[in-house]
Structures are given as structure tokens and as C-alpha cells.
Amino acid sequence: MQAARGTPVGEDSGRPDSEQAPEVARRGRRGPWLLFVLVAAAMYGADQLTKYLAVEHLDGAPDKPLIGELLQLRLTYNPGAAFSLGTDLTVAITCLAVVATVTVLVISLRLRDRVWAVALGLLLAGIAGNLTDRLLREPQAFHGHVVDFLMLPNWPIFNVADICINLGAALVLVQVFRGVGLDGSRATGDEALDARRDEDPKQ
């Protein structure tokens, strides 16, 4: 009856389910990965733009209040890791950042979950944002100093990339504690017990 009314039984011009399944799977993979790319690109762009503006307008200027005394702008150049740690290890930190960037990109190929996509997109933006400074800024490649300009009371000066890294890491921890995998699957206690029973019928 559906075919007679012009409505195909299948959504894909009547193609068998066996042919539709791979296409549906590809769509399911493409959505989270595109979200990952969009988040990474948007936040990386925001990081680089704000650093450019900070260098252009804050160099040699006094502290500028952004939100009263809670958040102020002060331009600094950090040769170390986040919070000015490891200032004598710039080259090693740069190499680790390269490895981390490649690792996140490889892991992103397994994405099926949108929360994981946002988390990894933030991580990639943050790592790549600071890595760009280390590779391109003075004094030389692999020794470049990271531009920091956001200042909270009693807190090391930071930048947008640092925010991305911390937010991304927090989302990763949330997903891990929830037991959600990169593919969006969640192994509940009942499922784990059923799996053990299948392995050992005596349980």
C-alpha cells in the first residue's frame, strides 16, 4: 500500500537494508567528527585572534580591567608549560605538544559520541594554539614563548588555549566517569555481569 501511494518502503529508494546500513553508519561517524573539527577550528581561531589582539594592544600597557578586579588583561610571554611550569624545558614541551596533537587527531577517527567530539575538539584547539606559539614566536622555532594575557587574582596568567585544554580535560574525565566510550557506548554493571556469565555459565 505504501508503494502504491508513492511512499517507498525503504528510505533509500527501496534499497535493501544490507545496502543502507553502511551508509547510515557512515552518517553516524561523520556527524561527531565534523563537530570535533568545527569546535577545534573555532576555538583555535579564537585563541590566535585574542593573542594577536593582546600583542597589538597590551604590549607595554598597564593592566586593563576586563571584569573589574576579577579579570584583568596583562601581556606576558611564557616559555614553559601551563601556569609557567617547566620554563627551562621549552623544547621538550614543544615535542610533547606535537605528539599530543597527533594523538588527538588519531583518536578523533574513532569518534561516535558528540560529547567526546567537543572534548577532543577543545583539547586539540588548546594544544595546537600554544604549539603554534612555540613553533612560530620568538626567540626561535621550538623555543617560542606562549602569549598569556588573562589574569585572575592569585592565579597564573593564562590564555584561551589554556581554557580549552582545561575544559576539554574536564569533559574527558566526565565521560570516563560516566563509562561512555568514544563510540558512545556505555557498559553498565548489568551488561558487565551478563558478559561474565556468558564466559562462565556457572555464575
The question of whether 47 is a catalytic residue gets the answer no
Q: Is 67 helix (H, G, I), strand (E, B) or coil?
A: strand
- Give me the helices (H) in 141-188, please: 160-178
Write the CB contacts of 136 (distance below 8 Å, at least 6 apart in sequence).
Answer: 144
Selecting among 47, 113, 133, 162, the annotated active-site residue is 162
Selecting among 47, 113, 133, 148, the annotated active-site residue is 148
Q: Which H or E run includes 147?
A: strand 146-151
Under DSSP, the state recorded for 10 is S
Return phi, psi of residue 64, to 5°: -115, 125
The question of whether 17 is a catalytic residue gets the answer no
Classify the C-alpha dihedral 99-101-107-113 as positive or negative: positive
**Catalytically active residues, by annotation:** 148, 162
